A and B are shown apart, each in its own frame.
Chain A
């Protein structure tokens, strides 16, 4: 808002610079596993941030975002497998389709309040999941398997090393986070939060809450679809349980909530903690049996929700308040 260079700007640009230069750190990306973790962190942070736009800033908590993620993934998959062409077209079409689907879905759903809305979003994911399982054109339950193609940006696929994917994930991250940052500082951001804090109040100030919610929904769906497309390209395949499941939906919600719902860095913090946790427990603690990573995940969620529902950002805010000089709530 003011054009002076604020500390928050410094933090943001510094972070971007650090991430851009990360591949130069010796052995970081050369090690396939750490590269994989970094890529997933960026991907899931982007995914969580797309959800955050609707669920955090606008306060419309939906558990159905994996539908958009899935549409995006299938967009890319269909382009590559069914049409044997470049995924980029599929990515764009998928993202637009997701935005359109979101508008259709949300219009009737926005009337619902609180828990009814949340459950409606579960219902939608489950419906899509099962329909996609029987839709033969897109591969049904077997899904779509990618052909082995040369590494290139045109195919958006690399099999030799992960640097390409890293920069792809970084580009996605920059896109999503920059967009949200812009929104935060302009009218839409204020309107989103106003709708969250008090829809009727916002309307009395001229805010068309239905349009605001629809915009948030469409944008959120568009970005989620882009993330889904990347996921498909990264995994060389797409099938319904992988992308269009309640589990996947909950993952976006949980990452955001753990990091700090409605905050800018929350999604990133959540991803930074949870993704390595998930990947490392899965890789190194598998001798303890299946599902250990999810047991730990479950415990963390319980602890977080009981202690500090505002997530890591909330914990940081608490620490700041404790360490700062004593201030009274009102300056009289």
Chain B
């Protein structure tokens, strides 16, 4: 029985990490109907920022996440301004998706070229290897802390969208851009902000992850794909939806990996996506 709960805990912790990655993506997708193919690679870049700060200047990930978040916020803004803003609204709905795919390729290979494909692990961080044991279960501290940060970010995001004026501008813009413009909302600024915030969420996660995950150029790809699946599962634009879907996927992954076979971890994840989407073509909470 303990094993069952252990697997469940691991699943939930993994799910919380997915949740923060998905939150940023669902925000972007919900507001401007753009799939940012480079989303996973933004995470990878965030990890490298944190890694190099830790490796070169001994900055602990518990601090460097601030730098990562800021950096990826900027990266998001630049991506929007230089690329996405010039692609949306045209005849091709696929243009932003493919352009960001190009960006993904670019980021991945620049990092590959400059930093080599080696897996890089940051040792000697403050949380490194620390565990918390309770009721016969083991909680990996780095993961727990990351999950707490993730929860905090999602709650802040949720509050921002729901209760602040900026959040209402964002909601209005996502429902009808033209109408929002007519009501004096600077929708261009909303778009820039949304891309930046989406990036910042990743920056927080990516900043903390080097304390327990290895950094390498391909680390973002799978996260990105799973984030797409989670967002689609939860219904695009829905932050609570993506949180629930992320937890679900985390659990599916953990249980499939443990009780069936490690290789089936992601087969199960993608299969669950297909199964749900057949029954509810707009995701669990989509509108």
Could you tell me which A residues sit within 8 Å of B by CB distance?
61, 108, 111-116, 118-120, 122-124, 126-127, 130-131, 133-134, 246, 250, 253-254, 257, 261, 288-292, 294-295, 297-302, 305-306, 309-310
Contact = CB atoms under 8 A, between A and B. Distances in A.
A119 B101 contact: no
B106 A302 contact: yes
Given A114-B93, A298-B102, A130 B113 contact: no
Q: Which of B98, B103, B104, B281 has the most CB of A within 10 A?
A: B98
Nearest to A257: B98
A129 B185 CA distance: 46
A320 to B, nearest CB: 18
28 contacts: A108-B274, A111-B278, A115-B35, A115-B232, A116-B283, A118-B97, A119-B232, A122-B228, A124-B270, A126-B225, A127-B271, A134-B261, A246-B225, A257-B94, A257-B98, A288-B113, A291-B110, A292-B109, A294-B109, A297-B105, A298-B103, A298-B104, A298-B109, A299-B102, A300-B102, A302-B99, A305-B95, A305-B102
B281 A115 contact: no
Contact of B86 (A111, A120, A306): A306
B71 interface: no
A254 B104 CA distance: 13
**When A and B form their complex, which 6 residue pairs have the shortest distance between CB atoms, in order from nearest?**
A301-B102, A291-B109, A298-B106, A298-B105, A305-B99, A309-B92
A118 B106 contact: no
Given A116-B277, A131-B267, A298-B104, 11 more contacts: A115-B29, A126-B267, A130-B264, A257-B94, A291-B109, A295-B110, A302-B83, A305-B95, A309-B90, A309-B95, A310-B92
Nearest to B99: A305
Contacts of B86: 306
A250 B277 CA distance: 23
B92 A120 contact: no
Interface of A, secondary structure class, is: helix
A81 B86 CA distance: 50
A225 to B, nearest CB: 22
Interface string B84-127: 00110011111111110111111111101110010000000000
Interface footprint category on B: 35 or more
Nearest to B110: A295
Contacts of B33: 115
Contacts of A302: 83, 99, 102-103, 106
Interface of B: 29, 33, 35, 83, 86-87, 90-99, 101-110, 112-114, 117, 225, 228-229, 232, 236, 261, 263-264, 266-267, 270-271, 273-274, 277-278, 281-283
B94 A120 contact: no
A126 B281 contact: no
B261 to A, nearest CB: 8
Nearest to A246: B225
A30 B99 CA distance: 38
B274 A123 contact: yes
Contacts of A108: 274, 278
B109 A309 contact: no
B117 to A, nearest CB: 7
A110 to B, nearest CB: 10
Contacts of A257: 94, 98
Contacts of B107: 298
B270 A306 contact: no
Nearest to B111: A291
Contact of B270 (A127, A134, A254, A305): A127
Q: Which of A61, A253, A288, A301 has the most CB of B within 10 A?
A: A301
Nearest to B92: A309
A255 to B, nearest CB: 12
Nearest to B222: A126
Given A112-B277, A130-B267, A61 B94 contact: yes
B263 A133 contact: yes
Q: Which of B33, B278, B283 has the most CB of A within 10 A?
A: B278
Contact of A127 (B90, B267, B278): B267
Nearest to B106: A298
B229 A253 contact: no
Contacts of A118: 35, 97
A259 to B, nearest CB: 13
A181 B139 CA distance: 61
